[in-house]
Structure 1
């Protein structure tokens, strides 16, 4: 078969394949799992490890520290280039540096207040357990939710990270559970399959061009009779 004829067939095949459904660039599921979301209070157990005797300000600091830990784990685990987890995390930390530093200082003072000289070491252990609490083998759901939170967090004004964390920490925690996609269902009305042109021998002229009669742009040869 001549190269021009092969090219025409390949073009038709590409046109057909181009209509196949595909997930969005930053989407890990065709159908989003139902991760439970909604705002929480800073004292809600879902935030993280409880801090006995903590004030409201210290509980909010713990909330921010847990949320920061989740975003850090996201940057380490979600390494797909289109998610930009590492780049967005670096921007997130820089953008909210003042608020996160204040949360770190408040937690440090809490552990010193309740544990005395052992406080610094206990704070380190608490931080390690906090990071580990966001580690999961079911990273698809966690990566989808956490990287979206990272991107959205970049748009949160400085000094307003705590309300954002309160609104998203439940969904981030929920995404640690196993999540599975639903099977795709063929919908003939959603996917229109194009009709391929007639590629029979009678559709080509002497220059190996697909004729207009068969969906191409080539002319008919003079004196050529159509078969059949």
Structure 2
């Protein structure tokens, strides 16, 4: 009887605690990277300036930046499988394919409208996509970015059809904030380690053929 009772209690405990999602995958206290909802017009939110973009086009840019962030997270954060970034990214592609197609078409139309149809618009679109993907490539801020992307990945997983737009507006500031390297927040006085801060990608003057112009804008990383 006692053995049966212990087994019952043990199974109940496993079921109860097993249903609670993990709060953290890394052994440190993260910085608060939360931020308010964005429109896409804020500096740095969509990786590069989009002059004359309509609200719909800015929303499309946010969605594409969200996709890029989840893609890079799936590639860069697979050292921690409990974040489930690979499976959540694959689910994003499968569940939201129509919305991603519309997003791509909206951005293509923007560059055709502003820079000309045909080769000029397509070239600008390709360059923009390269800028977007490179903007989420992290090294020094890998832990905070991966942890944040894990949370946002679950938001995309449970978003309804057509709901990536809301996820992008609500979480892009958080994703951008996570690209800044942060150390341990619980014991700041013990580990005074200054970290480099990644510069903004949005200044077009700083780029030439997708290469950062150090003479014009300084070093890529500012200490």
Q: Same fold (TM over 0.5)?
A: yes
* CA distance in 2 between partners of 1:84 and 1:107 (Å): 29
Give unmatched runs, 5+ long, in structure 1.
1-23, 185-228
Checking the alignment, whether the CA contact within 8 Å between 1:61 and 1:103 is kept in structure 2 is yes
Q: 1:147 aligns with which of 145, 150, 165?
A: 150
TM-score in terms of structure 2 length:
0.68
- Mapping for residues 30-49 of structure 1, pairs under 5 Å: 30-48=28-46, 49=48
Runs of 4+ aligned structure 1 residues displaced above 4 Å come to: none
Aligned to 2:72: 73
Q: 1:93 to 1:54 in 2, by over 3 A?
A: same
* CA distance in 2 between partners of 1:171 and 1:41 (Å): 13
Deviations 1:11-66 (A, max 9, x none): xxxxxxxxxxxxx5742243231214221113222312121111111111111111
Deviations 1:83-134 (A, max 9, x none): 2211110011111111111010000111111111311011001100110011
- Mapping for residues 1-228 of structure 1, pairs under 5 Å: 24=22, 26-48=24-46, 49-79=48-78, 80-116=80-116, 117=118, 118-137=120-139, 138-183=141-186
Q: How many residues align?
A: 162
- Which deviates the most, 122-131 or 40-49? 40-49
Question: How far 1:147 moved relative to its partner?
Answer: 1.5
* CA distance in 2 between partners of 1:96 and 1:112 (Å): 24
Checking the alignment, whether the CA contact within 8 Å between 1:67 and 1:169 is kept in structure 2 is yes
* CA distance in 1 between partners of 2:103 and 2:23 (Å): 34
Q: 1:113 to 1:153 in 2, by over 3 A?
A: same
RMSD: 1.8
Aligned to 1:209: none
Checking the alignment, whether the CA contact within 8 Å between 1:74 and 1:146 is kept in structure 2 is yes
* CA distance in 2 between partners of 1:171 and 1:133 (Å): 14
Give unmatched runs, 5+ long, in structure 2.
1-21, 188-223
Question: How far 1:170 moved relative to its partner?
Answer: 0.2
* CA distance in 1 between partners of 2:43 and 2:66 (Å): 14
* CA distance in 2 between partners of 1:109 and 1:54 (Å): 11
